[in-house]
Amino acid sequence: MNMRAYVLSPTSGYVIAELSYSSAQNGHAATGKVLTTTVFCKEHGRWMAHLHTEMDVKTDTR
């Protein structure tokens, strides 16, 4: 996992991560990578996720 956190203000920030996964589906192995971004805001003393996105990363199949 490759992850970075960015502080925007004392009450907001976001995290960007590149995640690798592997699983089995219908008897076949599946692997890949996903880019994620999550935006956080501090409300009433607690950090809350307000927006989360994911995007598949295409792998080079040469």
In the chain the domains, ranked by start, together with CATH numbers, are: 2-54 (3.10.450.50)
State the pLDDT at residue 42. 97
- Token pair listed for 13: 């920030």
The pLDDT tens digits along the chain (62 residues) read 789 999 999 999 999 999 998 999 888 888 899 999 999 999 999 999 999 999 998 876 66
Q: Which two tokens stand for residue 54?
A: 């994911």
Report pLDDT for 27: 87
pLDDT of residue 30: 85
Quote the pLDDT of residue 35.
Answer: 96
Query: How far apart (Å, rounded) are the C-alpha atoms in residues 44 and 61?
Result: 48
